[in-house]
Structure formats: structure tokens, C-alpha cells
Amino acid sequence: MTTGLDLGTPATQAIRSDEDVVRVRQLVRTTAVAVRLSLVDQTKLVTAASELARNTLIYGGGGSAEVTTVADGRRRGVRIVFADQGPGIPDLDLALTDGYTTGGGLGLGLSGARRLVDDFDIKTAVGEGTAITITKWSR
Amino acid sequence: MALSAEQGGRLADLLSRHADRLSNRWIEIVAASLRGRLSRAELARQVQELHRALVDAGRQGLGELADEHGGELRAVLAELSTTRARQGFSATETAISVFAIKDALLELMEEEQGETTLRDFVAFSALVDQMGLFTFETFVRARESLIADQAEQLLELSTPVVKLWEGVVAVPLVGTLDSARAQVVMERLLQTLVDTGSPYAIIDITGVPAVDTQVAQHILKTVVAARLMGADCIISGIRPQIAQTIVALGIEFGDIATKASLADALRHVLRQTGVETTSRRARREA
Amino acid sequence: MERVPILKIGDILLVSIQVDMSDQTAIQLQEDLAERIVATGCHGVIIDITALDIVDSFVGRMLSTIASISKVLDAETVVVGMRPAVAITLVELGLSLNGIRTALNVERGMELIAATRADDGDVAFDDEDADPTATP
């Protein structure tokens, strides 16, 4: 699911508050511009990051986002890992369904974010937390 | 078969001792194969650069081209084949520029027969073969990137967005639409809507021979995206075969306006802006 | 926390979002706007998102909510200036912004509001030349 070589040191942003979600967006945007993602791809990645950062805050009770530049042959990309030590997701299939929500949102966070990126990997354990890894590659 | 340290030294020695004679012979062979399509001065510069890199590498004890000492030599070879590829020379012509050194070397070594000569020549020859293969590989890579660049330029050229009327833009799509091109066209169309402030867009697919699910999805997504931005899209010029494909694939065009020709689509848009006015007048008068 | 300013231009409230909004700012805007609609008696709201480089599901929901609230308060909402990249992303995300009217720019948005009010037979608007489709 997750391939490619790490380039450079990852930048980590804690997600503890609303403002941190904004900071994650800005960090992701800067990195996406640096690896020259197209404007549409930048927008898709930042939007996905915004959804997942908010999920980390609301459902995971806070956590962190780790942003790394990756390379795979000629392609370059941005990889982000959202991690929290929250309650975890009991039914993953259900959580990935469009329109399903427990938090009063639109239920598009997880499923929508998955459509916006190239690689999407989720690891979750009830009572231990959730880690979601997403990657967007340059075209 | 790798060069030993002594062989590397002997090669460097041989090359620098007969530098002029060797490069002249080298240039001669290459020039014959290129038949005057590259100036002798330019050729001489390339050969001398290769010669120098080869001498340096030999002195440093190069065993194989892939060695750490081969870096400079590889860079020179890569530059040579990249320029040749861009200048339109064939792969064979480019490879000959490297292989020619074998002939030149053979002539020299025949004169200096010694007990190591045969062994040396086989080893040198193996190195030259590696150089030739490396040249060939970089040549192909350079060509590939050249083709990719051209494809991109073609993409730019083949996707015009034209203004048809005040507030109406159109994209006449011609040729096969693959996913990448569809995406470029659609992004450009949406940007033109913003730039020109046009609330109507016509996507004309008269010149498109076939539509697959992915392309149809791209068109549909564009129409929805345009709506989100506050503009309306009309699709015109759907051929009978494409209409059949669309239905067979089960693609829902929903409430998207489709018209037989570009003219019909333009008429539809003009009437829409016009009819609204007249109907409103009628209602108010009533 | 930053606050998004709300400008009153004639019968229209203009909200131009210029900052990268946190969720709190978005909720605050929703409340502020409802109060201003009632306080001013305006019948049109234009939300200019030209400067927004992303619209995620939270902001999308805020826009829908604002449109619904204004409707209840007898005001028409138009979202203007959505960037192409944002629109493409929203489609992919699966957000349809139901019930929200959109226009390419502020000018078109004003025309749209004027036309709608004229359709409703709002007499006050017949005198204004803001509506190009109205006949004198």
C-alpha cells in the first residue's frame, strides 16, 4: 500500500486545537508546492489533510500529523501520517461508507479523503488509537 | 571482465602518449559515420572531452564503468548521448561515436605488440562495450523524455477554449480523449469560465471518435464542478455510437443539457438568456 | 480568533472570506451573519470565497447552513468566486452543496439576487437598474 523512499526529515505538527488543523493545512500546502504537485492535486491533498486532521481532533481526541516528502522512481509525492491514541474505529467498513457519521458531520471525512489521494492506509485498534497514512503523487 | 589497476594505468598511459593521433583517428571514424551532420570542431570537442575523462578514469584505477571512479566518465557519456538524441541522430550513430575508439586503439596496440597486449585489448574492449551500452541507455532515456515533452506540448495545442458569444465559451474536442487529456481540457475550461466571467460553457464532442467510462466521468464531473462555480455546461455533438455507448455503460447524464450540434447548443443558450426575459415580462404584464 | 467581516452594500450583505478559517471562525461567521440579516433587514447575502484555496466538508456544511438560515430569514444566499481546483475537489469529495446558489463573481451574484427578488415580485427592486433582465 505504501511504497516509495523517504526524502528528508518529516515535519510534525501536533493536533490539539482548531488552530492546529489550520496549521496542518498550511504545512501540507507548503510541502505540496515544494514537490510541485499540480494546483488541483495540491487542493485535493490539502482538503484531504483538513478532513483527517479534524477527525484526529474530534474522534481521536487529538494527536499529530507527520508530513514527509517521498520519491518513487521519477515521481515525487507527499506522505502524511495522522496518528492518535483515541478510542479507535470499531467498524472500519462502516466508517468508510459515504454519509456515515457519529460526530454530526456530513460523513464524508474518511471516505471523501480516500477519494482525494492516491494511497490510503488505515490502521486502527479499539482502545488503542488510529493511524491513517495518505500519499499523493505528482503526475 | 573488469580492468585491473595496472591495465587501467596502461590504458591511461597509452591514451595520453598518443593523444593526438588517437583522437584524430577517432574523429575520422566518427565523422565518416555522421556524414557531415555535425561540425568537425564540435566533434573534436566531444571526442577530446571523452578522451580526457577516459584518461582520468584510467589513472584513478577504473575497473568497471559503474565504479565510483567512473562518475565523471558517465557524466560525459550521458551528456554526449543526450545532445545527440536531441539533435535527431540515431542510436547506432551515437553508439559508433563511442565504439570508434576500439578501432583507433587496435591500430595503436598492433604497433606496440607485447606480452600483455592481447589481454589488455580484451579488457579495454570490454570497458568500451560497457560505455557503448551506457550511451545507448541514456540515449533511449533522452528520447523518451523528448517524446513526453512533445506529448505535453501537443496537449497544450490540442485543447483550445474559445469565446463564442458574450458570456459563452466553447471547447471543441477533437481526437481521442484519454483520461489525462480530458483532465487538462476540463481544468482549462473551468479556468476560462473564471477568467472571462462566462456563465455558459459548451463542450462539443463532434470530433471525438469514442468515449469510455472514464472520459464520460471526467465530462460529468466537469459539468458538476462548473455548476458549483455558478456556470452551466451544455454538451453538443454526441454521435450515435457515443450515445449508444453512454447508455450501454449505464452512465447517467441526468439533467445535463445535450444538443445535437454546436449551433443548436448556442441557440439553446441564447434562447435561455432571452426567453427568461420575455417570460418574466409576460408574467409581470399579466 | 479571527472574525470574518460582513459588509452591507445596499440591500445586500457581502461576506468576503480572506483568511484560512478555523472551524471556530466558521461557526462565529454563521452566528454573526444571522444577527446581521435580522438587524439590517437585508434580502440578499453574497459570500465571496475567491480567496479560499480549499473548501472542506466543514466549510461546505457551513455554507449550506448559512443558506438555510438566510432562507428562513427571507434572504437569498449566493456563493461566488469558487476556484476551479476547489470545485473539482468538492466533486471528488462528494460534496454537492445542495440548496446553495452559486455565481462566478460578485457582480453576477448581485444580478442573480436581483433577478430572484424581481421574480418574487419585490416592488422595491423594479426601480433599480441592478437587474439587467428587468424591463423598465
Which range has the top average pLDDT, A89-98, B25-34, C8-17?
A: C8-17
Question: Which chain B residues are closer than 8 Å to C94 by Cβ?
Answer: none
Q: What is the pLDDT of residue B104?
A: 84
Contact call for B221 and C109, based on CB within 8 A: no
The C-alpha atoms of residue A35 and residue A12 are separated, in whole angstroms, by: 17
| B56: exposed, middle or buried (Cβ count in 10 Å: 0-12, 13-18, 19+) | middle
Average pLDDT of span A116-134: 94
DSSP state of B84: H
Residue of B185, B229, B285 to mutate for C, most C C-beta atoms under 10 A = B229
Nearest by CB to C104, from B224, B225, B230: name it.
B230
| Contact between chains at B280 and C133 (C-beta distance less than 8 A) | yes
B42 pLDDT above the threshold of 70: yes
CB contact under 8 A, A50 and C60: no
Contact residues, chain B, for C134 at CB < 8 Å? 280
Cβ <8 Å between C87 and B228: yes
User: Using 50, 70 and 90 to split pLDDT, how confident is the model at C121?
Assistant: low
Which of A40, A46, A98 should one mutate to test binding to chain C, selecting the residue with the greatest count of C CBs within 10 A?
A40
CB pairs under 8 A between B and C: 67
Contacts of C12 (CB under 8 A, 6+ apart): C42, C43, C44, C45, C46, C110, C113
User: What is the set of domains in chain B, with CATH numbers?
Assistant: 5-155 (1.10.490.130), 162-285 (3.30.750.24)
- Which segment of B14-28, B225-239, B263-277 scores lowest on mean pLDDT? B263-277
Name the band, by pLDDT with cuts 50, 70 and 90, for residue B109. confident
Per-residue pLDDT at B8: 82
CB < 8 Å to C108, chain B: 197, 199, 230
User: Which domains does chain C show, CATH number per domain?
Assistant: 6-103 (3.30.750.24)
Percent of chain B with pLDDT over 90: 17
Would the pLDDT of B243 be above 90? Answer: no
> Which pLDDT band holds residue C131 (cuts at 50, 70, 90)?
very low
Contact C89 A40 (CB under 8 A): yes
Contact call for C102 and B227, based on CB within 8 A: yes
> What is the reported pLDDT for C1?
67
List C-alpha distances in Å: B171 to B150, B186, B203, B219, B233: 22, 9, 5, 12, 11
Q: Which residues of A touch C94 (CB under 8 A)?
A: 98, 108, 111-112, 115
CATH of domain A5-137: 3.30.565.10
Distance from CA of C57 to the nearest CA of B (A): 14
What does the mean pLDDT of chain C come to? 86
A72 touches chain C (CB under 8 A): no
pLDDT at C95: 84
Nearest CB partner across the interface for C23, out of A21, A39, A111? A21
Among A2-11, B145-154, C31-40, the minimum mean pLDDT is found in A2-11
SS (H, E, C) chain C: CCCCCEEEECCEEEEECCCCCCHHHHHHHHHHHHHHHHHHCCCEEEEECCCCCCCCHHHHHHHHHHHHHHHHCCCEEEEECCCHHHHHHHHHHCCCCCCCEEECCHHHHHHHHHHHHHHCCCHHHHCCCCCCCCCC
Q: How confident is the model at residue A5 (pLDDT cuts 50, 70, 90)?
A: low
Which residue among A26, A46, A115 sits closest to C92, beta carbon to beta carbon?
A115
Contacts of C74 (CB under 8 A, 6+ apart): C43
Predicted pLDDT of residue B157: 66
Find which of C91, C102, C106, C131 to mutate to test the B interface (most B CBs within 10 Å of its CB): C91
Average pLDDT of chain B?
84
Q: For residue C91, give how far its alpha carbon lies from the nearest alpha carbon of chain B (Å).
A: 6
Q: What is the pLDDT of residue B125?
A: 87
Mean pLDDT (whole number) for A16-35: 94
The pLDDT score that the predictor gives to residue B19 is 84
The pLDDT of C37-49, averaged and rounded, is: 95
Across the interface, whether the CB atoms of C22 and A111 are under 8 A apart is answered no
Task: Count chain A–chain C contacts defined by CB atoms under 8 A.
Answer: 71
Global confidence as pTM: 0.72
Give residue limits of the domains in chain A: 5-137
**Neighbouring subunits of A (3+ Cβ pairs under 8 A):** C
More confident residue, A129 or C132: A129
In which residue are the cell numbers 449508444 written? B244
Query: Please, which chains are in contact with C (at least 3 CB pairs closer than 8 A)?
Result: A, B
